[in-house]
Amino acid sequence: MYAIVDIAGKQFKVAKDQYVYAPSLEGEAGASVEFDRVLLIEGDTGVDVGTPIVSGAKVTGKILDHGRNDKVIVFKKKRRKGYKKTQGHRQGFTKVLIEDILASGAKPAAKKKEEKPKAAPKKETKQEESPTTATGDDLTKIKGIGKVYAKELNALGYTTYQQLSELTDEDMDKIAEAIDGVTAETIQNDNWVEQAKELAK
């Protein structure tokens, strides 16, 4: 049995116990979701095509995780105008487990109660962030690094001017992969390394 369902404007062919990477949905991991825009259902009784949706049918699922796809570099240039712009983008997605496909009039199966142990990981992330932000140099003094980039650099382990002054090409590529909106070209064009050397003196 399978169904074609509309999730956030995109159509997916789904079956029970299948994983779907849908556009970003609201809700925390472990929350249950329902999709009522079912366009087609194929089961034991045959194929039921909606006009445009199958009345009373729905697909139930559970949010497993939120994430982002690989970075896509967007480069814009206008020749003879001196205009160049490089920007990175990572599209968000939500991993959903399809639990059941309900035809019109069907009742959902009884769900087992599951524990949600989530308090421990949140405490660990807070403990990891505090030492990097509490110690080290003020990276926002470097032109091109704002508060957001400074926090993400601290999370990567770059907390001092001395560390940024010793950046290699490989380090720049790693930073560009980890931080959205930053590329190796922007690091070189904004002279992060030279500015860090002057501030480290």
pTM of the model: 0.47
Mean pLDDT for 129-150 is 68
User: 50: buried, middle or exposed (CB in 10 Å: 19+, 13-18, 0-12)?
Assistant: middle
User: 77: buried, middle or exposed (CB in 10 Å: 19+, 13-18, 0-12)?
Assistant: exposed
The two structure tokens encoding residue 28: 């925390």
Going from N- to C-terminal start, the domains of the chain cover 2-102, 120-200
Evaluate whether 71 touches 58 at the Cβ level (below 8 Å).
no
pLDDT in tens, 149-194: 888 888 888 888 888 888 888 888 888 888 877 787 877 777 878 8
The two structure tokens encoding residue 52: 């445009």
Contacts of 38 (CB under 8 A, 6+ apart): 3, 4, 5, 6, 50, 53, 54, 57, 58, 59, 101
Which candidate, 92, 93, 197, places its Cα nearest to that of 141?
197
CB count in 10 Å sphere of residue 21: 12
- Residue with the larger pLDDT of the pair 7 and 116: 7
The distance of Cα 37 from the centroid of its chain, to the nearest Å, equals 25
Looking at residue 88, its pLDDT comes to: 95
Distances (CA, A) of 35 to 25, 59, 93, 152: 11, 5, 16, 36
Which candidate, 43, 92, 50, 97, places its Cα nearest to that of 71?
92
Looking at residue 168, its pLDDT comes to: 85
pLDDT in tens, 73-105: 999 999 999 999 999 999 999 999 999 998 875
Looking at residue 133, its pLDDT comes to: 41
Choice among 7-16, 63-72, 183-192 with the minimum mean pLDDT = 183-192
Residue type for 69, please? Answer: N
Which candidate, 62, 76, 67, 70, places its Cα nearest to that of 29?
62
